[in-house]
Structure 1
Amino acid sequence: MTSAVATADNLGRALDDIVDRVPGAQFAVVLSPDGLLLGASRGIDDELASGLSSMVCGLQALGLAAARVCGKGELHQVVVQMSRAFLFHATTGNGAVLAVGIDGEAEVGDMAYEVAMFVAQAGDHLPVYLEPVTRGALLR
């Protein structure tokens, strides 16, 4: 038996599906934990992908710092609300990061559902990323 391998095509289709199912959705991207673009919905050019990667990495770092300082568990999601748009940022169980942008006319609840479903099914589309070993774990 061979294992399934995530390809840019099937990941791209999954991201296109998220954007297609929610009217007002603008884009969806998936990044590795270190900020490398793994997949993007249609219409994302290299310049936009680079900008989104940088922005999402910053949100990831901020969210991880908040989780560490507040000491209340792992980071799952960051939602940025702007005057006419929302950005959803969710960490998958595989360690990758999903970011989805919607305009202000979109149904936030519908997108929250789509993000949650993608995160729950991320194993179907993404490889597993292991967290770096901490010094404390090495000393045990």
Structure 2
Amino acid sequence: MTKPAPGTPLASVSAEAQNFNWLVNRFAQNTAGAIAAIAVSADGLLIAMSSDMARSSADRLAAICSAMLSLANGVSECHPLGLPDKVIIELEQGYLLVCTISIGCSLGVLASKSASLGTIAYEMAMFANRATAVLSPQLIEELKNTV
């Protein structure tokens, strides 16, 4: 799970922040085909990551996910097809999927090539529904400082 920044005692991390980190980690562990998951703020900063990711990899992936959603939003501004739901990049050995969780936050998921994209997309939508209820601008700010 995501740990507080060095020098930040665990007691100072709110229960909501701990719960959100647990949800991201649980998503990666319990979703068939998922390799890792991260949550990203609207400004591209990592706010949560699954426990099996290195921090440097998670930070880089957060920037990539933010850029992907920005490009997808650019398409929706140029063409009247609506807002992006999910962005998917197919790689030789897997996928990167990104979706908006709420205003100010998105979810990035690395998945294996054998993963069912329909299942991953469904689980991402379910995660977004659960997370939207707890994510507030204050919680996002706290998560930025405790990841």
TM-score range, shorter chain: 0.7 to 0.9
Given the alignment, which residue of 116, 125, 128 partners 1:119?
Answer: 128
Please report how far the alpha carbon of residue 128 of structure 1 lies from its aligned counterpart in structure 2 after TM superposition.
4.2
Name the TM-score, length of structure 1 as normaliser.
0.79
Whether 1:40 and 2:46 are equivalent positions in the alignment is no
Give the match's secondary structure for 2:23. Answer: helix
More helix by percentage: 2
Q: C-alpha deviations, 1:7-53, integer Å up to 9, x for none?
A: 0x211211122112223311111111111111111122221112101
Higher RCO structure, 1 or 2 (CA under 8 Å, sep 6+): 2
Unaligned runs of 5+ in 2: 1-13, 139-147
Q: Label 1:5 to 1:103 Cα distance change in 2 as closer, same or farther (>3 A).
A: same
* Corresponding residue of 1:28: 37
Task: State the TM-score, normalizing by the size of structure 2.
Answer: 0.76
C-alpha deviation, 1:81, in angstroms: 1.5
Identity %: 24
Distance 1:76 1:128 in 2: 21
- Matched residues in 1 for 2:15 and 2:132: separation? 10
The residue aligned with 1:138 is: none
Task: Tell me the number of residue pairs that the alignment of Structure 1 and Structure 2 aligns.
Answer: 125
Alpha-carbon shift at residue 116 of structure 1 (Å): 0.8
TM-superposition CA deviations, 1:56-93 (whole Å, max 9, x none): 12201111111111122222211112222111100123
